[in-house]
Structure 1
């Protein structure tokens, strides 16, 4: 975990699962084959999970089980997981060093949207939920995932999915509303900037 994180934040990030048991389950369940032994994937289409909030990962796995989120491979991978399995696997990935970008995404358009949004189009700043460096947070019962340092191709695909309505599992559909207002160029710019954080 990042040295600057306090014990309370680390506890929130890891949640109720056991990261040691989660490492074994992630290995046995083949999670680490795609998402990386340290939670950083080697495939640009597969998301990093390093330092992601465990509760966010649990929600996504639950959504794959229920059909609220669809993915050909992840639906199969999640189908037999118990609540304890999900909590432990989530805790393992959450306990890894938080994903970091390479700083290469110096995209002015992406940075402006991330930092300021566009009030004229009711687009909030990404930073207002995901944090100034995109490292996520918890506000009440809502978990804002780590997006800073996430894979660029994955970020782009998710924003496009939100825009087209192929993905619909954000609280209150907020990500669909935001993405629907973004142009293709803005999606590309955001993916470029956020991946570098």
Structure 2
């Protein structure tokens, strides 16, 4: 089991290196804002800071990650009926422009809504769970949840409810197709997922 996890982490690191090496087209934030104002703001906020926990905050996310997720929604690789419809009319340039705009916005600071979850959440995020072979989240997403641009997404200041839903989807193999995260989430208990989601929401 330990060997499998080490191989999985090595694969993730290699994949991240390949992504980082790929050229990133520069989008136009001003053009992206025009699309945001008419298409995206209702759910994600005009500055990428969503109000509803069901909708992710996009502000401050890396341009490459945002672009890759928009492409995944448009192609149906990432299954979400709402986002499939929203991206259907977007050109490749539109997606680059949106990614450029949101990446330049500043995420609003959040606090955990259930502070009783923080001790367990901090443990999972910082050191993981050796007994169940769950690695520390910060190994890829950084101690402050800022991620590693163009490799691993920013998590800090994200809605706890959204993070918990993504972990549950990874575990169930629904919507999110990511072998590494599916393997990690499959080893986490519901309590661990809830706790680490609360901890992540307060990172900055």
* Superposed pair shares fold, TM > 0.5: yes
Classify the secondary structure of the residue corresponding to 1:110: helix
The match for 2:133 among 122, 127, 131 is 122
The aligned runs of 1:40-55 (5 Å cut-off) are 40-55=49-64
The match for 2:161 among 139, 153, 167 is 153
Classify the secondary structure of the residue corresponding to 2:175: coil
Cα offset for 1:15? 6.2
- What is the root-mean-square deviation in Å for CA atoms of aligned residues? 1.7
Structure 2: segments with no counterpart, 5+ residues: 1-23
Q: Kindly indicate which of the two structures has a greater share of residues assigned to helix.
A: 2
Structure 1: segments with no counterpart, 5+ residues: 1-13
Classify the secondary structure of the residue corresponding to 1:137: coil
The match for 1:194 among 172, 188, 200 is 200
Cα offset for 1:108? 0.6
Cα offset for 1:104? 5.7
Please report the TM-score for the alignment, with normalisation by the length of structure 1: 0.84
The match for 2:177 among 131, 155, 169 is 169
Classify the secondary structure of the residue corresponding to 2:47: coil
Residues 99, 147 of structure 1: CA spacing in aligned structure 2 closer, same or farther, 3 A cutoff? Answer: farther
Separation in 2, partners of 1:35, 1:15: 23
Q: 2:33 corresponds to which residue?
A: 23
Select between 112-121 and 37-46 the one with higher mean Cα deviation: 112-121
Q: Is the 1:105–1:195 Cα contact (8 Å) retained in structure 2?
A: no
Stretches (4+) displaced over 6 A: none
The size of the alignment, in residue pairs, is: 178
Q: Is the 1:15–1:91 Cα contact (8 Å) retained in structure 2?
A: no
Q: 1:9 corresponds to which residue?
A: none
Please report the TM-score for the alignment, with normalisation by the length of structure 2: 0.82
Separation in 2, partners of 1:19, 1:136: 21
Classify the secondary structure of the residue corresponding to 1:144: coil
